[in-house]
Structure 1
Amino acid sequence: MPTSIAIADDHHLVAEALADYVRKFDQYEVLFVAVNGRDLINQIQQSNRIPDIALLDLHMPEMDGFETTLQLKQLYPTVNVLALSMTDREDHIVQVIRNGARGYLLKGCRPSELRQALDEIMTKGHYYSDFLTSQLIRNLNAPGESSVVPIFNLNGRESDFLKMACSELTYNEIADKMCVSPRTVDGYREVVFQKMNVRTRVGMVLEAVRHGLIQV
């Protein structure tokens, strides 16, 4: 079965260009092309066909990509949202990921990156590009630790590690700041990864953002 794609973008030329690219990819099909989020949801309801991935422009009339992501998460939680934007604003990235998006792609990307994003969302459940990672790691600051513990059951030292790891500090620098050995930091990392159900530092940061543990 081909992977089904829905596209929502109020710029018709952009939407059709995206659809044309997707149709050229093996094992992908385009179900809908909508002019905004409300139109997309209406088409899903009327056709009773739920796409595997929704490519959503963030800025659309009536229902933008931020609200559409929330609505899809509530109504059709199996839909994986890939957000599309002309800008790389950190607050937009953080907000749409918190709303449930599985990736963020600039419209100026090459078709090969679009294909990579679609493939990784289907195989890994997310697309964390180098661009997305650098924007989040560089610009995020941690809030107080009280909100960290209840969600993932982290103790105080694990919470300290999480906050420092969501920055540009290396693991050796984290060890120095925590006054422990690098081996101990490795232990914190493995425990936090397990509790947050992630495999990489990038995944940890994204989960922290998704649960509101990190603020711009």
Structure 2
Amino acid sequence: MEKIKIIIVDDHLLFSQSLAYLIGTFKEFEVTGSYCNGKEFINSFSADEFEKPNIVLLDVNMPIMDGVETMKWLKANQPDLKVLALSVNDDEDTIMKMITNGAKGYLLKDTHPTMFKEALLEVYHKGFYYTEMISGLLINKLGNNDNKVLLKEREVEFIKLACTEKTYKEIADGMCLSPKTIDGYRENLFQKLELKTRIGLVLYAIKNKIVCI
């Protein structure tokens, strides 16, 4: 059986080598390359011997070119590549930036090996892996096709803007509304969709094809 090919992009050599060793214990996978930063990784695409991986494990915080900037390049140049973000950070802003720029999942580096393997399989077979443990947030409903919520046109417009890196004030300016009105849109949608955070709204939008990531 042909193994699922993985590339690791992480500037911490010890972590990268340890991760490669762990992946080597999973019979379904093999590590075919590792890079120290995003710039080194994207430059590899021009090499004749480069073999495109099935999954990329991408560190968020790296020198020279970090995970967010790398994802922006991949989204523009390799949009079909499946990327699983890895980080020690669980803040909502970082998670949202990675997902809205195309990451198919986000894991903390202290994730249990069993969950890590599950994430790899989910990303490979289903195309994404979003866990309720992301940033300690509980995102239990991401849109069930059998129970879709009817959204107003302006609510959809707000959701699309919320799936960008714009601040709520910038969203208010873009919609020609006051920040207070935007706060009302946000709270009403959180209640209507049974969500708690902006990242939950982003995941809802992706699941229901309100935006294409």
Query: Is TM more than 0.5 here?
Result: yes
Distance 1:118 1:129 in 2: 12
Question: What's the offset of the Cα at 1:204?
Answer: 2.5
Other structure's SS at 1:93 match? helix
Question: What's the offset of the Cα at 1:58?
Answer: 0.3
1:31-52 alpha-carbon deviations (Å, 9 max, x no partner): 1110001111222331331111
Other structure's SS at 1:130 match? coil
Give the number of the structure whose residues are more often helix, by fraction.
Answer: 1
Distance 2:203 2:96 in 1: 14
Q: Identify the residue that residue 72 of structure 1 maps to in structure 2.
A: 74
TM value normalised by structure 2 = 0.68
Distance 1:106 1:209 in 2: 26
Q: Identify the residue that residue 6 of structure 2 maps to in structure 1.
A: 5
Q: Identify the residue that residue 23 of structure 1 maps to in structure 2.
A: 24
Q: Does 1:167 align with 2:213?
A: no
Q: Does 1:145 align with 2:147?
A: no
8 A Cα contact 1:4 1:51, kept in partner: yes
Moved segments of 4+, more than 3 Å: 148-151, 160-163, 205-212
Measured on the aligned residues, the alpha-carbon RMSD in Å equals 3.4
Question: What's the offset of the Cα at 1:78?
Answer: 2.3
Question: What's the offset of the Cα at 1:90?
Answer: 0.7
- Calculate percent identity across the aligned residue pairs: 36
Distance 1:58 1:145 in 2: 31
Aligned AA (1:34): Y
Distance 1:100 1:136, change over 3 A: farther
Distance 2:129 2:157 in 1: 26
Q: Identify the residue that residue 186 of structure 1 maps to in structure 2.
A: none
Q: Identify the residue that residue 204 of structure 2 maps to in structure 1.
A: 204
Other structure's SS at 1:60 match? coil
Structure 2 residue runs without a partner (length 5+)? 141-153, 162-187
Question: What's the offset of the Cα at 1:24?
Answer: 1.4
Distance 2:210 2:57 in 1: 19
Count of aligned positions: 169
8 A Cα contact 2:91 2:135, kept in partner: no
